[in-house]
Amino acid sequence: MIKNLPPMGWNTWNTFAQNIQEELILDSAKALVSSGLKDAGYEYVVIDDCWALKERGADGRLTPDPQKFPHGMKYLADRIHEMGLKFGMYSCCGTMTCAGYPASFDREFLDAETFAGWGIDFLKYDYCFKPAGAEGALLYRRMGLALASCGRDILFSGCSWGADKTPEWIGTTGANMWRSTGDIFDTWESVKSLIQQQYSILPFGGKDCFNDMDMLIVGMNGKGHVGIKGCSQEEYRLHFAAWCLFGSPLMIGCDIRNMDEETKRILTNPALLAIDQDARCNRPYIIRFCGNDDYPIIVRNLADGDLAVGFFNLSDSPADLWVTEADLGISFRQNKILEGTEVYSGRKLRSVNATLSASLAPHTCEVYRMKIVNL
């Protein structure tokens, strides 16, 4: 059964794009296990676009490129399952995938049957080359039905980029997660933009249909397909913290075979993973400090009564942020205060005069797991 929590795993696209093949996938799956990422919760190994031949086979079915995948997808799925991991693949609701390979328009039930026969557990479903007269909601509902009736439990990852009013209809399609934005790139500007795009769509995420902010760029360091110019370690920490507070699926995009220790520390941060994977999957809310989009204070109520409170400075200047207990639902007159620990540094924070505050350098954050205690 699919866990009703934000999915976690690794995807080929950010680093490798079309440069994928069987050995790379198997080596990356082994690295997911040996590095401790699997033990931290990362379980899906997902092949993105460019895995197929440019045309369907004589039987009308999608055909893996034999140069890239000489043993076929069933073999690959079996090897990945033997490692205790799950296997994911990619298609698209249009006539072609984004890279120009055959897609699933009007072949949804056939393709779902094919994927089930190969033993896949996850389908990323893109939005390129969609016929202008075809309603996206209808095409996604059709694939949702095809997957639900294919005889295998396959997680449906919708990737319509938030286009065509996706938030309004994605919950009707059977999708377990949905992309709310365009593609991420390994730059600070991209991270900031994707965070700020969440402000108006927070009510549409949560359990059963998680809001996917796109794959993680932590550890890319300017390398690979979307590498561009890279981010600082502080920016990667902020990026990962925001994704966890928003309850986004966590799909690693770096080359995990060559992951450095700092990247591993960020991706396996137990306090942040506990927030992302909190059993209640409560939606976050945002307090914009002084009404400024560059200073979001992101808050989530957690299953055990704790509060996750994140102070974020998205600006290019230092900033002093604060929030009152009253804004967080704490009644000062009932002699309650907040005490907590910062997820990266271990720094302790206690509310003073019914207020929490943080002083932040540019492009940094502080995230606290706060407990309500008696004064």
**Residues labelled as active-site residues:** 126, 183
Q: What Å distances lie between residue 253 and 17, 222, 239, 282, 372, CA to CA? A: 10, 12, 13, 26, 36
Three-class DSSP category at 234: helix
Q: What is the DSSP string of 73-113?
A: HHHHHHHHHHTT-EEEEEEESSSB-TTS-B--TT-HHHHHH
Provide the total of helices (H) and of strands (E) in the chain, helices listed first.
11, 16
For residue 211, report the phi and psi dihedrals to the nearest 5 degrees.
-75, 115
Task: Please state, in angstroms and rounded to a whole number, the distance separating the CA atoms of residues 173 and 144.
Answer: 6
Helix pair 22-34, 72-82: axis angle to 10 deg = 10
**What are the tokens at 318?**
């230092």
Element of type H or E holding 191 = helix 188-196
| Amino acid letter, 150 | C
